Amino acid sequence: MKKGLYFGMLILLSFSLMSFSCSDDDDVGNPNDNSQQIAQIETTVESGTWRITNFNDSGQNETSDFTGYDFAFNSDGSLIATNGSTTMTGTWSVTDDSNSNDDSSNDDDIDFNIFFPVPETNNFEDLNDDWDIVSTSSTRIELIDISGGNGGTDMLTFEKN
């Protein structure tokens, strides 16, 4: 009788341990895996040149600061803005920022990062940020940033030339 009880307990313990050691395949097709969407955005912006059609800095329309500039998002991560004889060089990237704490509570946040190494007094410094993507198409990219400092909302739209 004791052997049956011990055997039953051993079987029960074995099943309990197996249920803890089995992996959960919920991460297959994880909705927070943005790699395909990131690759698509990168491919889109790397084709052709773009212009800023809207730049709103905390309620101030500053689109005219970038009139005449063509932006080239190169596959090596360089970002070149040209306006006749003026050239500004910076960097860009698209990253998965699933642990973002600077903007939205959305766990599948994708950031469009822009950086121009310029002084704060330069208009291009206003573009430096980790922008959230509002929408993308083959000809338009809409970005938003909610400032952590003053809570102002910045909007930036690029359209393909």
| 1 inside domain | no
16 within domain boundaries: no
> Which domain range does residue 89 map to?
35-160
Residue 94 maps to a domain: yes
- In one letter, which amino acid is 65? D
Residue 25: the pLDDT is 46
- Tell me the pLDDT tens digit for each residue of 129-145: 999 999 999 999 999 99
pLDDT, position 21:
46
The pLDDT value given to residue 3 = 56
Structure tokens at 101: 């704490």
Cβ neighbours for 35, distance < 8 A, ≥ 6 positions apart: 96
Q: Per-residue pLDDT for 13 more than 70?
A: no
Compute the average pLDDT of residues 86-104: 78
Helix (H) or strand (E) segment spanning residue 145: strand 140-146
Please name the helix (run of DSSP H) or strand (run of DSSP E) that holds residue 79, with its range, or none. Answer: strand 78-83
Nearest alpha-carbon partner for 38 in 121, 124, 103, 133: 133
Domain CATH number, residue 64: 2.40.128
Neighbours of 69 (CB within 10 A): 20
Query: How confident is the prediction for the chain on average, in pLDDT?
Result: 83
Residue 109 inside a domain? The answer is: yes
Query: How many whole angstroms separate alpha carbon 27 and alpha carbon 5?
Result: 39
Long-range Cβ contacts of 4-7 (<8 Å, 24+ apart): none
Which pLDDT value is given to residue 121? 96
Asked if residue 7 is part of any domain, the answer here is no
- Per-residue pLDDT, averaged over 22-27, amounts to 46
Beta carbons of 130 and 113 less than 8 angstroms apart? yes
Q: What's the CA gap between 161 and 143, in Å, rounded?
A: 18
Give, in order, the Cα–Cα distances in Å from 52 to each of 82, 84, 103: 12, 16, 22
Q: Structural domain tally of the chain? A: 1
